[in-house]
């Protein structure tokens, strides 16, 4: 024991700092373990959405404990850090062969798609119109669009002769603007809130046939809402036409780190077009270094080639727009057997 005040303060600070780091590490570790119950308990699945934030928190925890020479504690918290890094790995790993294929001169169907939750109360349709004119997509899929929004976006009708809008009394109005005419469109309604999804079937000159679904399920604010979200996404993915190329997009209120997101990919035989393009958050839920999460998605069946993926700047919404360039090099009917456990 020393009587030197400077040494005492140093030891006291070291002790306090290590306790703070240990507490933070324990909280994040418990949240990470919640992943094991994510498919059974809605709140555990809610915690699973923030794997990126857990990495951001655990890196300074592990580094700080190592600096303080708390080796055992650092080793303990290194495990959940590695687990969360493994969970988000697909954000940085290009799908096999994508670079090699994308560099070729593909002759076939090319489309640019923009999807954006515009935030119904924002009324910033001029910003959205400017965004659309800047990126000039072939298809524009919008969520949280009511009648006032459709009036505000009336200037886009000259660019997009094919428009379909379904209104909703809440925040679940949905619309599609397209240069490409569709063969047919269906509206499916989900749950007691009657949340709509738009289903489009296209046949383009050259024999290219594809289906596109624009959907926006409920946010997981409780067990019923979480269950409704999962059911809407899983049913939609399962029921898409396997004899066509497929695109499922919209505000899913779900991040790629959830086991339910992986189940949607499996049920629909779909791929995440954002894979390999980084973390690309689309919803800023944390106004700090912790940043946002990616809940706005474009999923595509495997025959689509992702030529580019980007998240555009703000328009006044709490969501950021997503723009994806896709190519379909083979004009043919896609005929795959449906797995036995799928409807």
Domain CATH number, residue 299: 3.60.10.10
The answer to whether residues 119 and 201 belong to one domain is yes
- By the 8 A CB rule, do 61 and 27 touch? no
Residues of the chain with pLDDT under 50: 1, 8, 100-101, 332-338, 343
- By the 8 A CB rule, do 124 and 98 touch? no
Domain that holds residue 49: 5-87
Angle (nearest 5°) at CA 55 between 252 and 233: 15
- By the 8 A CB rule, do 116 and 142 touch? yes
The answer to whether residues 141 and 174 belong to one domain is yes
The answer to whether residues 44 and 99 belong to one domain is no
Q: Which residue has the tokens 């997503």?
A: 322
Q: Identify the pLDDT of residue 5.
A: 59
Q: Identify the pLDDT of residue 284.
A: 82
Pairing relationship of beta strands 109-117 and 139-143 according to DSSP bridges: parallel
Does residue 268 form part of some domain?
Answer: yes
The answer to whether residues 21 and 152 belong to one domain is no
Strand partners, 250: 215, 297
How far apart CA 282 and CA 105 sit, in angstroms, is: 31
In the chain, the number of structural domains is 2
Residue of 156, 194, 203, 202 whose CA lies nearest to 175: 156
The answer to whether residues 67 and 123 belong to one domain is no
Does residue 118 form part of some domain?
Answer: yes
Phi-psi region of 342 (alpha: psi -120 to 50; beta: other; left: phi over 0): beta
pLDDT in tens, 69-106: 899 999 999 999 999 999 999 888 877 655 544 555 55
The answer to whether residues 119 and 54 belong to one domain is no
The answer to whether residues 11 and 146 belong to one domain is no
The answer to whether residues 29 and 157 belong to one domain is no
Does residue 20 form part of some domain?
Answer: yes
- By the 8 A CB rule, do 110 and 104 touch? no
pLDDT in tens, 26-45: 999 998 888 777 677 888 88
């Amino acid at each position: 024991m020393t009587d030197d005040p400077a040494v005492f303060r140093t030891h006291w600070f070291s002790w306090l700092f290590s306790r703070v780091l240990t507490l933070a590490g324990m909280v994040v570790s418990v949240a990470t373990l919640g992943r094991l119950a994510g498919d059974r308990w809605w709140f555990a699945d809610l915690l699973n959405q923030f794997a990126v934030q857990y990495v951001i928190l655990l890196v300074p925890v592990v580094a700080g404990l190592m600096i303080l020479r708390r080796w055992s504690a650092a080793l303990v918290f290194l495990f959940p850090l590695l687990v969360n890094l493994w969970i988000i790995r697909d954000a940085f790993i290009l799908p096999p062969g994508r670079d090699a294929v994308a560099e070729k001169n593909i002759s076939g169907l090319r489309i640019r798609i923009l999807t954006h939750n515009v935030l119904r109360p924002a009324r910033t349709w001029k910003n959205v119109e400017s965004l659309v004119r800047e990126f000039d997509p072939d298809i524009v899929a919008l969520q949280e669009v009511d009648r006032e929004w459709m009036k505000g976006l009336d200037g886009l009708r000259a660019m997009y002769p094919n428009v379909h809008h379904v209104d909703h009394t809440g925040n679940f109005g949905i619309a599609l603007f397209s240069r490409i005419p569709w063969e047919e469109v269906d509206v499916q309604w989900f749950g007691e809130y009657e949340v709509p999804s738009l289903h489009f079937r296209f046949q383009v000159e050259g024999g290219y046939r594809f289906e596109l679904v624009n959907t926006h399920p409920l946010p997981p604010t409780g067990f019923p809402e979480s269950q409704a979200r999962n059911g809407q996404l899983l049913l939609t993915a399962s029921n898409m036409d396997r004899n066509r190329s497929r695109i499922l997009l919209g505000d899913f209120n779900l991040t790629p780190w959830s086991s339910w997101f992986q189940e949607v990919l499996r049920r629909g035989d779909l791929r995440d077009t954002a894979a390999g393009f980084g973390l690309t958050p689309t919803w800023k839920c944390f106004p700090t270094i912790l940043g946002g999460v990616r809940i706005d998605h474009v999923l595509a069946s495997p025959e689509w080639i992702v030529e580019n993926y980007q998240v555009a700047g703000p328009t006044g919404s709490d969501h950021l727009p997503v723009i994806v360039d896709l190519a379909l090099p083979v004009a043919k009917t896609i005929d795959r057997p449906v797995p036995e456990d799928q409807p």
